[in-house]
Amino acid sequence: MRVLLSTWKPWTKVSISLQQRIDMAKAARAELCIKGTNGGSLYGPSTWAIFLVPPYKGKSNDDLELLCKAQDPSIPVPMWCYIYLSNPHGSADAINRALDRWNSKDVFFDIEGTSKNYPQNTGPFLRTLGDSRARYWLQSYRRPDYHPEIQWEKLLTYKDSNGNYIIHGLSPQAYPLQSQDFVADFERMIKAYDNLLDKVDRPDIPWFPTLPTFTQSGWTPTAEAMRDGVDYLANTLGDRLKGLNFWRQYFLFTPEYADMLAYILSIYPDEPPPEPVIPQAEYIHGHLHPWAVSEGYDGPAPDTK
């Protein structure tokens, strides 16, 4: 089972380096997941003006992706994308541009919020995406009955020109806000989705739930509640459970989340973190993106000492 740690605005937490984020992921045998798009725009590329100014310089998603690849070039960086169905063509085009840039193999579609006001744009969004270039996961908040306006059946049955489902699997934001009874909440969530999956004849769809590692309105999830919830997911979904996506990583650096971090680290208790394949500076210097070369960026010089 895979584990992801999702980031959001990693450049704003200036006390936490990108390397610290990667080291945490390595210790957890996890992958870092970046926010790739926001509606019709790429999110956090190095071309943003903010990354020209200290202390934000060198903390873009491009920089984070290059450092991740230095650990293991064979593992593409996943991304999550906030979809605005008010702009279906722009949102889809942005995802394709983000795939060109970061070559992600897993993309999580956050479709909710204002998108509920534009359900008629579901088809145009899916058509503009074109043939599937990655595993696309539906990452809407909690469960279908929370968002009856969303065209769930169309999302889960739409196929590309090759006859493949565009939505590969489910990654619901399984956030039992203001409760520590994760099991009861997850039970309701799975029941609601199973009813939907029966309608669309996809009972074996894979799952990659997005789980809360954040504090909101005074609510903080406990490690014990998370452990019970994950055990329930594993026992109930069985082979359908492909991974866990913890959102968001920043809180795991805080003292209040020490127990939660310890739990996440324990998911793979017997496997040591992987060693870097090659020195990071050497890898970055020798494996620059075309966009970096076009901007005249040569990367950090390899350590010759």
Residues 6+ positions from 304 with CB-CB distance below 8 Å: none
Give the fold, CATH level 3, of 2-294: TIM Barrel (3.20.20)
Q: What is the pLDDT of residue 71?
A: 83
Find the largest Cα–Cα distance for the chain.
Answer: 63
Is the Cα torsion angle 216, 218, 223, 225 positive or negative in sign?
A: negative
Task: Give the Cα separation of 101 and 65 in Å (integer).
Answer: 10
pLDDT digits (tens, 9 = 90+) for 152-201: 999 999 999 999 999 999 999 999 999 999 999 999 999 999 999 999 99
Q: What is the pLDDT of residue 154?
A: 97
Domain boundaries, the chain: 2-294
For residue 202, which of 156, 151, 135 has the smallest C-alpha distance? Answer: 156
Per DSSP (E only), the strands in the chain are 2-6, 31-38, 41-42, 79-82, 106-110, 135-138, 167-170, 210-212, 243-247
Q: What are phi and psi of 17, to 5 degrees?
A: -80, 160
Q: What is the pLDDT of residue 304?
A: 43
Q: How many CB atoms lie within 10 A of CB 301?
A: 10
* pTM of the predicted model as reported, rounded to 2 decimal places: 0.89
CA dihedral 285→81→89→170, nearest 10 degrees, is: 130
> Do the beta carbons of residue 168 and residue 160 sit within 8 Å?
no
Return per-residue pLDDT of the chain as tens, 305 residues. Answer: 899 999 999 999 889 999 999 999 999 999 999 999 999 999 999 999 999 999 999 999 999 999 998 888 877 899 999 999 999 999 999 999 999 999 999 999 999 888 989 999 999 999 999 999 999 999 999 999 999 999 999 999 999 999 999 999 999 999 999 999 999 999 999 999 999 999 999 999 999 999 999 999 999 999 999 999 999 999 999 999 999 999 999 999 999 999 999 999 999 866 555 565 655 566 666 666 666 666 665 555 554 43
pLDDT digits (tens, 9 = 90+) for 259-282: 999 999 999 866 555 565 655 566
